[in-house]
A and B are shown apart, each in its own frame.
Chain A
Amino acid sequence: MRFAFTTEQREFAAALRALLANEFPASALREVWDSGTGFSAPLWEQLGDMGVLGAMMAEADGGLGMRPIDTVLLFVELGRAAVPGPIIEHVAVAGPALSGTPYAAGVADGSTMVTTALGGSPYVAHASAAALILNDNGVLSGYAVTPVEGIDGGRLLGVVSGGTIDDLVFDAMAARLRGSLAAAAYLVGISEHMISVAADYARVREQFGKPIGSFQAVKHLMSDALLKVEFAKPALFKAAWGLSVGDGTAALDVSMAKALASEAAYRTSRNTMQVHGAIGYTWEADLHLYMKKAWALQRAWGDAPSHRRIVRQHVLGI
């Protein structure tokens, strides 16, 4: 029994965190929103160079051969920076499914961007940015996208039509589990970022002649958010380990992790917005770029109620 990451796993995540802190601050995320492209081409290239985009693909395909336990901290970091584009879909879901296929090399280095349509939504996220869509039948290319306006400018939505399907047999259940896990990790990272931003604000914003962070009502909003996030993390890490070693309860653990992370992220968005006061309700403050990603991802890959029902089936049999 050893519930800790290896030095290697932590160092890779720390390197990614450093890269994103330098290369992708909130101003860069705002530029992506303003550009209307839904992703950042230079950042995508840097993530490809670092090996992140093919991290979970076989080494023979140009990937790093990493398992969920090796990459879960990477998704926390990708979430901390709210990296736009199909990062979950490409890295965690489609990448491993396309290992060993003719698509593999392009997906591993990122030159071919893939998104997925496995979630049951009529709207496909990132379809306009990506060249390929992995759906339950295989790999779709040459499709048309009718955009719909989504809440998150880093996650463009569209209705997909036409295109050519290249049949592919893959484990769609396992792919969905990887998507739910990566989304849970991403939500933990984004939550930690929102807490950090709100704590910074509470230290400098003054009312009644004092920083608002000195008031208990504000402290408690912040502590309650942190509490939710801290208690989602161990469940997330256990699920990542379970998927990696084929543990018997891995699917259940993923559902627990996604339920806890979704609720933590939503509670964190509410509390950190409240701490910001009126500025938190503006387009100008960066907080909304992160909150909206959290709101989108709390429902993508299964929302908390649907994952709780999966656990309910296991625990109560109904």
Chain B
Amino acid sequence: MDLHYTTAQDEFRAEARAWLEANVPGQPLPSFDTAEGFAQHRLWERKMYDAKWSAVSWPVEYGGRGADYISWLIFEEEYYQSGAPGRVGQNGIFLLGPTIMEVGTQEQKTAYLPSMASGDVVWAQAWSEPNAGSDLASIAATAVRDGDEWVLNGQKIWASRAAWADWCFGIFRTDPAASRHKGLTFFLMPLNSPGITVRPIAQLDGDTGFAEIFFDDVRVPDANILGELNKGWSVAMATAGFERGVSLRSPARFTEAAARLVTLWRTHADKADTTLADAVTDVWIQAEGYKLHTYMTVTHMLDGGTIGAEASLNKIFWSELDVRIHELALQILGPEAERIDGPFERWVDGFLFSLSGPIYAGSNEIQRNIIADRVLNLPKGA
């Protein structure tokens, strides 16, 4: 064990920090769940791509730097510390991209990865349906073969970024005779395909971060299937592993938020309230614990290991930590926490957003079931 960074890692950190200092916008961009904010965030993704920072862990030929996981974590630490904008391309870069690299054809890698890294194509996730939320395997949307094309029908919902995204990745039932997890296939398609209607949904914060997507005889070529026909569930679970595991929510987000909470405590909290001070200390410890857990996990992955159901532990941990950090911030802010327009807007917005964490990417109740079933080998439920 050696928890010191190497000279090369220190140099990489310095390079990332210098670029971010020179390039991060001085003023926060509008929310990427608004039309104006989405466009500005797309330009930011392009700027990062031009300097090869948008997907540092990707291979060089697709626009990355071929950096290992440790370097990626270092970049993330610098990224969040710099106050850089949120990643509008995250569904693609952190979820679909790694999945394409794992199961995609060479043609698909060439076709989709560079434009994903550059922000030219922003991806939305189209998995859930009105009757397939936590019970994702009960998907009803269908794809029927017609020559070398497929005809898609059905409704998706809670599709993140779909209001302004360019393409989506979704799961459709291709073999109606097969049961549940079997007979599903993973498709990629442009959101401006004829027959697609996107209806944005206002979130708790009023922004339209997700949407319904209606498919009405949408024609998609055979080449747009990712992975094998009728094997969409295992492809989706690979994506979900990235989502719940280390890639989407790197620890830097939470160590940075915990550090901001400490600053807020210094400037605004009642110092005589040691219960509050202990609670702030506790989330600081939890954020450090999450960071250390991630470093241990990526070392395991660098040694050729994989993360399976353990990713569900991560998902519960970071989502509950994020809620706790923001609850404490609002407690410190007192009456100011009721304002959503003031100098503390980021904390109030962050609180609302944190509340989605225990729900999206598979509710935390489902994650607890997964841990019990697949890590602790308890008998499957009804």
- A interface residues, Cβ below 8 angstroms from B: 1-6, 69, 195, 199, 202-203, 210-211, 213-216, 218-220, 222-224, 226-227, 230-235, 237-238, 241-242, 247, 256, 259-260, 305, 308-309, 311-312, 315-316, 318
Contacts and interface: CB of A to CB of B under 8 A. Distances in A.
Contacts of A216: 365, 368-369, 381
Contact of A219 (B281, B284, B310, B373): B373
B365 A230 contact: no
Nearest to A69: B1
A318 B277 contact: yes
A226 B2 contact: no
A82 to B, nearest CB: 20
A237 B296 contact: yes
A219 B369 contact: yes
A312 to B, nearest CB: 4
Contacts of B9: 1
Contacts of B377: 199, 203
B306 to A, nearest CB: 15
A227 B262 contact: no
**Is chain B's interface secondary structure helix, strand, loop, or mixed overall?**
helix
Interface in B280-331: 280-282, 284-286, 288-290, 292-293, 295-296, 298-300, 303, 310, 313, 316-317
Q: Which of B316, B376, B380 has the most CB of A within 10 A?
A: B376
Q: Which of A232, A235, A256, A316 has the most CB of B within 10 A?
A: A316
Q: Which of B1, B300, B367, B382 has the most CB of A within 10 A?
A: B1
A232 B289 contact: yes
B281 A308 contact: yes
6 contacts: A199-B376, A203-B379, A214-B378, A219-B381, A234-B293, A315-B280
Contacts, number: 152
B5 interface: yes
Interface residues of B, number: 51
Given A234-B289, A315-B262, A316-B265, A5 B368 contact: no
**Is chain A's interface secondary structure helix, strand, loop, or mixed overall?**
helix
Contacts of B299: 1-4
Contacts of A232: 289
B292 A234 contact: yes
Q: Which of B299, B310, B371 has the most CB of A within 10 A?
A: B371
Contacts of A199: 376-378
Contact of A223 (B266, B284, B295, B371): B371
A1 B293 contact: no
Contacts of B316: 223, 227
Closest 5 CB pairs of A and B: A219-B372, A234-B292, A213-B378, A223-B368, A223-B371
Q: Which of B262, B280, B285, B365 has the most CB of A within 10 A?
A: B285
Interface in B19-50: none
B1 A241 contact: yes
Given A2-B2, A4-B303, A241-B3, A259 B285 contact: yes
